[in-house]
Structures are given as C-alpha cells and as structure tokens.
Amino acid sequence: MATQHSRAAARLMISPAVGVLLIWMIVPLAMTLWFSFQQYNLLYPDRTGFAGWDNYRYFVTDFRFGAAIRNTLVLVLGVLAITTIGGILLALLLDQPFRGQGIVRLLVLAPFFVMPTVSALVWKNMFMNPVNGFFGHIAQAFGAQAGFDFLGQAPLMSVIIMVAWQWLPFATLILLTALQSLDREQIEAAEMDGAGAWSRFVYIVLPHMTRAITVVILIQTIFLLSVYAEILVTTNGGPGTASLNLPFLVYLASIVDNDVGMGAAGGVIAIILANIVAFFLMRAIGKNLET
C-alpha cells in the first residue's frame, strides 16, 4: 500500500513529534552536561568558568552522596521485592473465581491512582504519626505511650512502604493481565501430563509470565529511581541523610544550595544510572515489536 506519495506525507506527519522530542532531549541534556563542567553557583554569581571535573568530585565526595546512592538502591530494591512478589501472589489469587472478583480488583487497583503527594501525606499523618496516626492509636489501645515513630526511627522503611503501596497495584494489574492471557488448554494439558499445582506454576505459569515480570521490574525501576515527592513531603531526606536518595540530593544541591554546577553533575550521574536500566528495558520492549 506504500506509494511514493504516501511516504512523503508520512514523513511530514511524523516530523512535529520528532522535532519537539528532539529538542526536549537535546537542549536540557546539553545544558546539564555544560553546567556540570562549569562553576555556577547562584549565590556567587561572579565565580564562573570551566570547572573541569570539580563538580563531579564535589558531588561524589559530598558527605551525603554515599547515603544517597545506598538509599536509592535500598528503596528501589525494597519496593521491587515487595511489589513483584506481592504482585505475583495477588495476581494468582485474583485469577481464581470468587464472588465480587471485579470489585476486589478495583479495590486493589485504587492506590495507583492516588497522587504521590496525597499518598505520602496520608501515610505520614493519618497512619504513621506516633500519636494521632492509625497505628499509633492501635499501639495506645494496647497500652503503649505512643506508637512507633515510623518516620523518625525507620524513615527509609516508611518511604518504601508508601511507595510500595502505590506500585503494588501496578504490578498486580499487569501480572494479572499476563496471567489471563495464558492458554487454559496448556494448563489442562499439563494436568493431563500429571503435573501438580506447584509444578504447573513453576513450569507453565511462571515461564508464561516471565516477560511481564521483566517489564514490571524494569518500568518500576525507571520510576523508582526518580522517587521525589514522597520524600519531599514526609522526611525531607532526613533525619540526617537517612532517607535521602539521588534525585533528592540533586534537588538539594541545585535548588536549595543554589550550586547549579554540582546539581548538574548529580543529574548526569542520575541519567547514567537510569540509562543502564533503560538499556535493558528497551531491549525487552523492542523484542515485542518484532512480533
């Protein structure tokens, strides 16, 4: 169906999208790279010029950097573990026939639509507050003075719980969709071949879901590497550096400390980190494009 005429028209139709995305990709990226090699602090406007690798050195040797990297990894891996394993189990459960299946599905899905700032504030105040929060009240009902101070004592864990609550529905929904596309005859064939429930799960169900699991992990990783709002409204990265992650450190350096150069250097590091994951995600999605 492709004729010369339609090819030219197609190019014309694609060009606006390509154009704006090209600008969106190149301009900020080039600026980030440029600033990362410049002395540029909004507080000291007279100090400018080429900084070499200084910004990177300052960022990496900043006392907060080690914590930020560690927290970023713990946050990503913690949420991934909870959502992936929980998602598989929930998907298996929701795939069974029972009364009100559709309603339960909606209930499980709901947290995904809650905006991050609302979710963070609700968890912080209504649930994790040691005095007036839900858990605090429960603890007091059992005779304790006050409940566990989640955000003070285990800030990173608390952020992980909030974020996991938001992403568990996502993992569940996608894994459930994948599960439902499994050919029932395959399961029946395996049953005829004498496979028990566990064997069916390991040899038939799990392999069928592998791609969906991969996609869930990779997409979540992309988003989890940039968790920001939840930290901003709950712990502000603290106490100390206990819940500080890489995007938050970039924000602190560039906006709060006004050190544009150093923030840009942190940004470049964040981009490199995200690109490592993106590389694998793109391969997983690209494979799908063939079929």
What's the longest Cα–Cα distance across the chain?
Answer: 80
Considering the complex, what minimum distance in angstroms separates the CB of residue 47 from another protein?
17
What is residue 252's DSSP assignment?
A: I
Residue 125 or 199 with smaller CB distance to another protein: 125
Residue (of 170, 189, 166) closest to 178 by Cα position: 170
Can you spell out the DSSP letters for 22-67? HHHHHHHHHHHHHHHTEE-BTT-TT--EE-TTHHHHHHHHSTTHHH
- The count of residues in the chain is 291
Considering the complex, what minimum distance in angstroms separates the CB of residue 239 from another protein?
16
Sequence-distant (≥ 6) Cβ neighbours of residue 137 within 8 angstroms: 147
Contact 170, 114 (CB under 8 A): no
The token pair that represents 131 in the structure block: 């005095």
Considering the complex, what minimum distance in angstroms separates the CB of residue 109 from another protein?
6
Residue 79 or 173 with smaller CB distance to another protein: 173
Residue 4 or 61 with smaller CB distance to another protein: 4
Q: What are the b/e assignments for 173-206, b being 16+ CB within 10 Å?
A: bbbbebbeeeeeeebeebeeeebeeeebeeebbe
Considering the complex, what minimum distance in angstroms separates the CB of residue 21 from another protein?
5
Q: In degrees rounded to 5, what are phi and psi of residue 157?
A: -60, -40
Residue 178 or 242 with smaller CB distance to another protein: 178
Residue 43 or 103 with smaller CB distance to another protein: 103
Q: In degrees rounded to 5, what are phi and psi of residue 173?
A: -60, -45
Considering the complex, what minimum distance in angstroms separates the CB of residue 211 from another protein?
7
Residue 217 or 242 with smaller CB distance to another protein: 217
In terms of phi and psi (left: phi > 0; alpha: psi -120 to 50; beta: otherwise), the region of 52 is left
Residue 32 or 243 with smaller CB distance to another protein: 32
Sequence-distant (≥ 6) Cβ neighbours of residue 266 within 8 angstroms: 59, 246, 249, 250, 253, 254
Q: In degrees rounded to 5, what are phi and psi of residue 10?
A: -60, -45
Considering the complex, what minimum distance in angstroms separates the CB of residue 137 from another protein?
5
Considering the complex, what minimum distance in angstroms separates the CB of residue 249 from another protein?
9
Considering the complex, what minimum distance in angstroms separates the CB of residue 242 from another protein?
17
Residue 81 or 256 with smaller CB distance to another protein: 256
